[in-house]
Structure 1
């Protein structure tokens, strides 16, 4: 395409998708690869917005979209990775054919770290609903190894991906409790929370495996982790272990001091832990200590963690706390 040519119009693609004109939609994407940088970027941003509203229309388009994951422009690669996050969160089956392509970007040490982070997040969402698709040991190893990465955004997305994998099939991480527990003292609260949730998920089906993480989980209580939701998840995981081996964890009284909603989250899980220690049923409810409760409540907890008082993201409207991450936790836009 020459600079004088008009770039493909996103509205044209949307019309094709609404008409199930698959071959024509693929041709549109192929034409987009030769457009100028700015029109190409803006078109993909519009495509991503359309995917948020109509993810079901993108079945079969994941493969041609992967072309943009290796585009020469970094902004286009990042926009495309975010597009795959959108699809994998709401229509993960559409992303199944390109798991390998996403894994390649995750494993690419030369790739822009935010692209790698978003590819990890997309793989995590796929693994949550289709565990067998993200069971390759190399993918899981990339998730774990990347926890030592210096960039908070990357660590958070990798921890989230591991959480999703555990929620999809706890067996996938049952032999990794020790290695994951080493990162429970990470300075990023979302990393700590996602990993505590992943371990709690493992404990729902393989409680004895949590013995390798007992000390690290207990430290979230004895050190009084500054984030109440993380303290609660640690207590929940410990409660699952206590039910099996009976070795009591000392629970400090001061972590129940406050009366806000977040601390109610802690209290209910401390009740669960104490109930298992004393073989009482009072602490047991369907809302605590089950894989279903973790799957159903995890995203709401993360939303609560990432929406305290602060500035609203100008791109998606999320309230971002002062001193929070440099990228919006929801849409990934720079603050």
Structure 2
């Protein structure tokens, strides 16, 4: 039977995976022609859908898929990186198998910046459950250093990865508080939010480590974002609780409506005990690693809520002054 009469490559690959035939699936993947970019992307996009639904299905072929991370076509590399994001988000254990090649993409300064961004994001998801496999000195250095030089879209993913490293193991960033603090004035709201959140997470276990960040956190109380202001207040509240003589900066004014509930609750948390009129929220809802872990994605969804156009190719939301390419599918914007 010639190739024209065989099922499409993706059908052959998925059938092999469903049958538990790892060798056959690997063979089909290796047979994909490197010069057939569209077919490669079609296969990778389908595998991404599988990863979102049943990520363990792809475990047998993950190391084979890493070859697409170094493909000559950057659109293939980006599609592959997004596939690994889906794997790592759904199953960090499975994602830990591809940490090394993702770290290589992150460290490559000549790599397309969206590929680096997605690689950082995948590493962050793995770090949530497997911090030991991600938080090497080299990877942490790449994440931190990139905050100074990279494109905004990359910095946002780097900051998110650092937040997730902290959520996975608070000790990993305990001695890097000053490095994170130095970027709290970033132009991106997401960068400021993720880094403030990372500091709060560290402060949940090591509140005294936040002492060197007090001034910078107090400055964030005037941030334009209520979510950044809220995290800054939360961090200062943790610091004040650990040091009884620590003066609490003047908190931002708030309104008691739902739109600023995130900020309101954290201001009350920070000022709880300073005066008898303050009634703070339950202590297990704010100022704990578990509360942040359970709630940070919802905050990011609020921050990134659509306020611009949609990509005509994949429907992803695009800000009015967005990048020249869609960060979701790589199509021109």
Matched, 1:307 2:300: no
Whether the aligned pair in 2 keeps the contact of 1:204 and 1:240 (CA below 8 Å) is yes
Q: Which runs of 5+ in 2 are unaligned?
A: none
Whether the aligned pair in 2 keeps the contact of 1:306 and 1:329 (CA below 8 Å) is no
Alignment correspondent of 2:262: 265
Compared CA separation, residues 308 and 34, structure 1 to 2 (3 A): closer
Alignment correspondent of 1:275: 272
Alignment correspondent of 1:297: 295
Please give the alpha-carbon distance, in whole angstroms, between the structure 2 residues aligned to 1:325 and 1:257. 35
Q: Deviations over 1:288-323 (max 9, x none)?
A: 110000000000110111014433444554544544
Matched, 1:176 2:176: yes
Whether the aligned pair in 2 keeps the contact of 1:177 and 1:209 (CA below 8 Å) is yes
Q: Deviations over 1:33-80 (max 9, x none)?
A: 545122222222222222222212111222111100001111101110
Alignment correspondent of 2:232: 234
Greater mean deviation of Cα atoms: 83-92 or 35-44: 35-44
Please give the alpha-carbon distance, in whole angstroms, between the structure 2 residues aligned to 1:276 and 1:66. 53
Greater mean deviation of Cα atoms: 292-301 or 318-327: 318-327
Q: TM-score w.r.t. structure 1 length?
A: 0.90
Please give the alpha-carbon distance, in whole angstroms, between the structure 1 residues aligned to 2:20 and 2:167. 33
Q: Deviations over 1:73-102 (max 9, x none)?
A: 111011101111110000111121221111
Q: Which runs of 5+ in 1 are unaligned?
A: none
Whether the aligned pair in 2 keeps the contact of 1:106 and 1:119 (CA below 8 Å) is yes
Alignment correspondent of 2:193: 193
Whether the aligned pair in 1 keeps the contact of 2:79 and 2:329 (CA below 8 Å) is no
Provide the secondary structure at the position in 2 that maps to 1:301.
Answer: helix
Whether the aligned pair in 1 keeps the contact of 2:78 and 2:114 (CA below 8 Å) is yes
Residue 20 of structure 1, CA deviation: 1.6
Q: Deviations over 1:133-167 (max 9, x none)?
A: 11210100100000012411110000000000000
Residue 284 of structure 1, CA deviation: 3.9
Q: Which structure 2 residues correspond to residues 150-165 of structure 1 after superposition, within 5 A? A: 150-165=150-165
Greater mean deviation of Cα atoms: 26-35 or 322-331: 322-331
Point out 4+ residue stretches in structure 1 off by more than 4 angstroms: 3-8, 276-281, 313-321, 324-335
Please give the alpha-carbon distance, in whole angstroms, between the structure 1 residues aligned to 2:28 and 2:193. 42
Alignment correspondent of 1:210: 210
Greater mean deviation of Cα atoms: 46-55 or 211-220: 46-55
Q: Deviations over 1:236-255 (max 9, x none)?
A: 1111111011312323443x
Q: Deviations over 1:245-271 (max 9, x none)?
A: 1312323443x147342x110000000
Provide the secondary structure at the position in 1 that maps to 2:138.
Answer: helix
Aligned-residue RMSD, C-alpha: 2.5
Q: Which structure 2 residues correspond to residues 1-335 of structure 1 after superposition, within 5 A? A: 9-34=9-34, 36-221=36-221, 224-246=222-244, 247-254=246-253, 256-257=254-255, 259-261=257-259, 263-275=260-272, 277=274, 282-314=280-312, 317-323=315-321, 335=333
Whether the aligned pair in 2 keeps the contact of 1:243 and 1:276 (CA below 8 Å) is no
Please give the alpha-carbon distance, in whole angstroms, between the structure 2 residues aligned to 1:91 and 1:148. 30
Please give the alpha-carbon distance, in whole angstroms, between the structure 1 residues aligned to 2:331 and 2:220. 31
Compared CA separation, residues 105 and 329, structure 1 to 2 (3 A): closer
Greater mean deviation of Cα atoms: 318-327 or 197-206: 318-327
Please give the alpha-carbon distance, in whole angstroms, between the structure 2 residues aligned to 1:299 and 1:331. 21
Greater mean deviation of Cα atoms: 62-71 or 313-322: 313-322
Please give the alpha-carbon distance, in whole angstroms, between the structure 2 residues aligned to 1:273 and 1:47. 46
Provide the secondary structure at the position in 1 that maps to 2:309.
Answer: strand
